[in-house]
Amino acid sequence: MKPYRANVMVCAGTGCVSNHSLEIKKAFEEEIQKRGLADEVQVVTTGCNGFCGAGPIAVVQPDGIFYQLLKIKDIPYLVEEHLLKGRPVPRLMYVPPEEKIHIPKMNDIAFFKGQMLVALRNRGMIDPENIDDYIARDGYRASAKVLTTMTPDEVIQMIEASGLRGRGGGGFPTGVKWESCRKAKGEPRYVICNADEGDPGAFMDRSIIEGDPHSVLEGMVIGAFAVGSSEGYIYVRQEYPLARERLVIAINQAREYGLLGDDIFGTGFKFDVDIRRGAGAFVCGESTALMASVEGRVGEPRAKYIHTVEHGLWNKPTCLNNVETWATIPAIIMRGVDWFTSIGTGDVSENPWGGSKGTKVFSVAGKINNTGLVEVPMGITLREIIFDVGGGVPKGKKFKAVQTGGPSGGFLAAELLDLQVDYEQLTEAGSMMGSGGMVIMDEDNCMVDMAKYFLTFTQDESCGKCAPCREGTLRMLQILQRITDGKGTEEDLVLLEDLSHYVIDSSLCALGGSAPNPVLTTLRYFREEYEVHIRDKKCPARVCRQLNVYTIDPNLCVTKGHGCGVCRAQCPEKAIVGEKNKAHSVIQDACKKCGVCYDVCKFDAIQIS
Amino acid sequence: MENQVAQAARVQEIIQKWNKRRDLIIEMLHDVQSEFNYLPLPALDQISHEVGVPHSTLYGLATFYNAFSLTPRGKHQICVCMGTPCHALGAPRIVEALERHLKVKCGGTTEDLKYTLEISGCVGTCGLAPIVIVDGELHGFVTPVNAPKVLDKYSD
């Protein structure tokens, strides 16, 4: 490889690409060419940098200078100043909202400082489409070590001792799963990577695959060796085309280098991987449904008293793990059990369920300053993630709740901010780790509405095989709809709770078994808000529009808007009257409360009460 | 007539590409869907016949998975992301704005077969929320007011 004086690492994750980062890359290249720096400076596209809220992002290495919110017109100046004259450009650097001082170095930014990278160890450092980059960062050393110096039992023992637990949400000890799969009777055996990341607000797996696809492949090679498999599948959801594309490239490169295929590292070990596309069904993230889908069938789960490690894909022993779990495996092999168990909570030396070890990747989104992907040690508090790493709630609004674990998880209120994040503590609080989505809500979010949102989601995604999930979630949704329409009664809350427990206890798979969690946690921590909807027919956050009354502030309408009439023109019910330059008003009897007037008024003259 | 022959030939290519394998019919359906924007009945006949799966199975797959449609979709696919962050930042109001603009209900196709309006699961680019995806292209930070303007680019 040719040495360069500097490398410009342009983020090419989906978020930045949508913000035209590939055009930024081209602009860099053209400008560098024009200045005659092409032999000294290289432009590299990397996977997701993680700080998606600041995109498009470029980091100049080796100094680690971080530039954000780049525009094409900034590039010539940036190249001239920084790359030619050696003067970094402050105005394109990150500025924390409260301090107003720019921070040049990426690692000094609070968002990055609080993180510990294991699964994301190559984040922003490599070109995901170039296997040499991965190898230069010690890639495939772990699989070489395993295949040439270890026995399958040693590998399983090591993973068991590390205390690694499934990162897809279940938290099942990975080593235990591998051991049962190895012991199960039947040939051939399969390993599967579950990349059907369906939780809304979760994008860890997408970023790992897009940024470092080889880490997943290497983990799968190690897993396949341990359980004795020669055939693997990666099930990628259809909504992630870029991830799929990068996996295809990575698999082909690995085959070419002999790191996948018939005779890996010349040891005679044979393993290859194929990709399967999801087709837009959330339930296919459930392991038995996923396997049905890989077989080309409708993705309906089955009862799991027959374990998939014994009877999985095509009824053969199958070892399924999540993307993040696979990506963590090589790091454990290289750095050892002692290092991994030194991170996290509890003690796993006796009992694999005794603690949560290592790090966890979370995607932090919603009402938060630093939207993005963070990897933090287990045991960190919610407060540290949301306020230190995430930079808190924007626009000075008040933090209200954090939703963890997607539709299977729950809402945690402000009084739980000091909760340590690990599998047990989150479950105890009524939520769950889930795959790692964290969505922050502020005072403008209505908790009843959010519970309704998740139930709409699970109701829609319920496969319909078992009645408790299919019918139960529908009835619960109807009750929530009633409450948000202002027609709820006190008894509804009792009924809602009863139904929740029935659905949890009698559903076939985890989708139904956890679907009521958002309702139960909001009832537990925000019961008052439900009661206000029922008793006072009001929505404190002014989200449930049937409970809102829209009026127009005549003063603002005239002084600021000069009676512009936009609301009158846009109102689908013709419920707004008024003349140009005069104050407008809403005819309450005709108003259907669609909220269009509120959306279109540029002068904040529409009031909600 | 010519169209049908061309369509049958294209479907045959797709079936061959996946080696007529029973376990790969979802991949075939994906390819047919992206080729014709829906699953035409003759194409399903052909797959059923060539691969040897009953129609009921194909119908089951086509209706179970959201990615497939049995009726023609519009030339341009508009998807409003309904992930949690998008929802929390006002995605439902964007859907309503687009419904009003296109005069079609969510899930429907405009009469001129130009646009299909749908909602999608989280697309995982929550940093840009709320998001509207048109023909696979992401548009971030959409508001109910500027949502119709996003479509300007796709007016052909």
Q: Which of A20, A22, A236, A298 best tests the B interface by mutation, with the highest count of B CBs <10 A? A: A298
Q: Taken in order A275, A276, A279, A285, is the CA torsion positive or negative?
A: negative
Q: Which of B22, B122, B138 best tests the A interface by mutation, with the highest count of A CBs <10 A? A: B122
H or E stretch including A146? helix A141-149
Q: Where are the beta strands (DSSP E) in chain B?
A: 76-81, 115-120, 132-134, 137-139
pLDDT band at B1 (very low <50, low <70, confident <90, very high): low
Q: Which of B24, B58, B64 best tests the A interface by mutation, with the highest count of A CBs <10 A? A: B64
Question: Which residues 6+ apart lie within 8 Å of A365 measured at CB?
Answer: A201, A371, A437, A438, A439, A440, B84, B85, B126, B127, B129
Distance, CA of B139 to CA of A15 (rounded, Å): 10
Residue that is written with structure tokens 């395993």 in the block: A146
Tens of pLDDT, residues A501-521: 999 999 999 899 999 999 999
CB pair distance less than 8 Å for A363 and B67:
no
Considering the domain boundaries, does residue B90 fall inside one?
yes
CA atoms within 13 A on the CB side of A173: 22
- Hey, what amino acid is at A75? I
Question: Which residues 6+ apart lie within 8 Å of A229 measured at CB?
Answer: A188, A189, A190, A191, A223, A271, A319
Considering the domain boundaries, does residue A120 fall inside one?
no
Q: Which of residues 463-492 of A touch B (CB under 8 A)?
A: 463
Nearest to B124 among A19, A53, A240 (CB): A240
Residues B86 and B56 in one domain: no
Measured from the Cβ of residue B63, the count of other Cβ atoms closer than 10 Å reads 12
Tens of pLDDT, residues A586-605: 999 999 888 888 888 888 89
Residues B54 and B83 in one domain: no
Tens of pLDDT, residues A145-156: 999 999 999 999
Give me the mean pLDDT over the A380-397 stretch: 92
Considering the domain boundaries, does residue A35 fall inside one?
yes
Residues A96 and A162 in one domain: no
Assess contact for A552 and A606: CB atoms under 8 A: yes
User: Which range marks the domain in which residue B23 is found?
Assistant: 2-64
Considering the domain boundaries, does residue A123 fall inside one?
no
What spatial distance separates the first Cα and last Cα of chain A, rounded to whole Å?
65
DSSP A107-142: GGSHHHHT---STTTTTTTS-TT-HHHHHHTTTTHH
Residues B55 and B13 in one domain: yes
Residues B81 and B139 in one domain: yes
Considering the domain boundaries, does residue B69 fall inside one?
no
CATH number at residue A515: 1.20.1440.230
Chain-centre distance for alpha carbon A132: 28
Distance, CA of A460 to CA of A16 (rounded, Å): 30
Q: In 3-state terms, what secondary structure has residue A328?
A: helix
Considering the domain boundaries, does residue B123 fall inside one?
yes
Residues B49 and B95 in one domain: no
Tens of pLDDT, residues A171-212: 899 999 999 999 999 999 999 999 998 888 788 999 999 999
Distance, CA of A129 to CA of A20 (rounded, Å): 19
CATH number at residue A33: 3.40.30.10
Residues A162 and A275 in one domain: yes
Distance, CA of A334 to CA of A201 (rounded, Å): 32
CB pair distance less than 8 Å for A200 and B138:
no
- Hey, what amino acid is at A576? I
CB pair distance less than 8 Å for A365 and B129:
yes
DSSP A2-15: ---SEEEEEE-SHH
CATH number at residue B110: 3.40.30.10
Nearest to B124 among A203, A276, A279 (CB): A203
Residues A596 and A470 in one domain: no
Distance, CA of A437 to CA of A403 (rounded, Å): 8
Last residue of a domain, one of A442, A457, A479: A442
Last residue of a domain, one of A418, A442, A466: A442
Report the DSSP pairing between strands A585-586 and A261-264: unpaired
CB pair distance less than 8 Å for B122 and A276:
no
Tens of pLDDT, residues B99-113: 989 999 998 899 888
Question: Which residues 6+ apart lie within 8 Å of A363 measured at CB?
Answer: A201, A202, A203, A204, A207, A372, A373, A374, A436, A437, A438, B124, B126
Residues A248 and A266 in one domain: yes
Considering the domain boundaries, does residue A28 fall inside one?
yes
- Which pLDDT does position B136 carry in this prediction? 83
Residue A98: is its pLDDT beyond 80? no
Nearest to B26 among A52, A293, A403 (CB): A293
Question: Which residues 6+ apart lie within 8 Å of A85 measured at CB?
Answer: none
Cα of A380 to nearest chain B Cα, Å: 23
Residue A218: is its pLDDT beyond 80? yes
Cα of A369 to nearest chain B Cα, Å: 10
Instruction: Kindly state the percentage of chain A with pLDDT values over 90.
Output: 72
Considering the domain boundaries, does residue A415 fall inside one?
yes
Considering the domain boundaries, does residue B70 fall inside one?
no
- Which pLDDT does position A160 carry in this prediction? 95
Count: domains in chain B: 2
In B, which residues are within 8 Å of A297 by CB distance?
Answer: 57, 61
Note the pTM of the prediction, 2 decimals: 0.91
Residues A188 and A337 in one domain: yes
Residues B80 and B60 in one domain: no
Tens of pLDDT, residues A253-298: 999 999 999 999 999 999 999 999 999 888 999 999 999 999 999 9
- Hey, what amino acid is at A532? V
Count: domains in chain A: 5
Structure tokens at B68: 């497939």
CB pair distance less than 8 Å for A599 and B93:
yes
Tens of pLDDT, residues B57-86: 999 999 999 889 998 888 898 999 988 888
Assess contact for A301 and A512: CB atoms under 8 A: no
Strand-by-strand arrangement of the A410-413 sheet: A372-377, A359-366, A437-442, A399-404, A410-413
User: Which range marks the domain in which residue A394 is found?
Assistant: 356-442
CA atoms within 13 A on the CB side of A500: 23
Last residue of a domain, one of B42, B64, B86: B64
Considering the domain boundaries, does residue B93 fall inside one?
yes
Residues B146 and B95 in one domain: yes
Phi and psi torsions of B134, nearest 5°: -115, 125
What burial class does residue A150 get, using C-beta atoms within 10 Å of its C-beta: 0-12 exposed, 13-18 middle, 19+ buried? middle
Last residue of a domain, one of A77, A108, A139: A108
- Which pLDDT does position B113 carry in this prediction? 87
Residues B81 and B47 in one domain: no
In B, which residues are within 8 Å of A209 by CB distance?
Answer: none
Nearest to B125 among A203, A297, A298 (CB): A203
In B, which residues are within 8 Å of A207 by CB distance?
Answer: 124
User: Residue B130: is the preceding peptide bond cis (ω within 30°)?
Assistant: yes
Considering the domain boundaries, does residue B71 fall inside one?
no
Considering the domain boundaries, does residue A391 fall inside one?
yes
Residues B55 and B82 in one domain: no
Residues B36 and B92 in one domain: no
Closest CA to A498 of A519, A483, A478, A481: A519
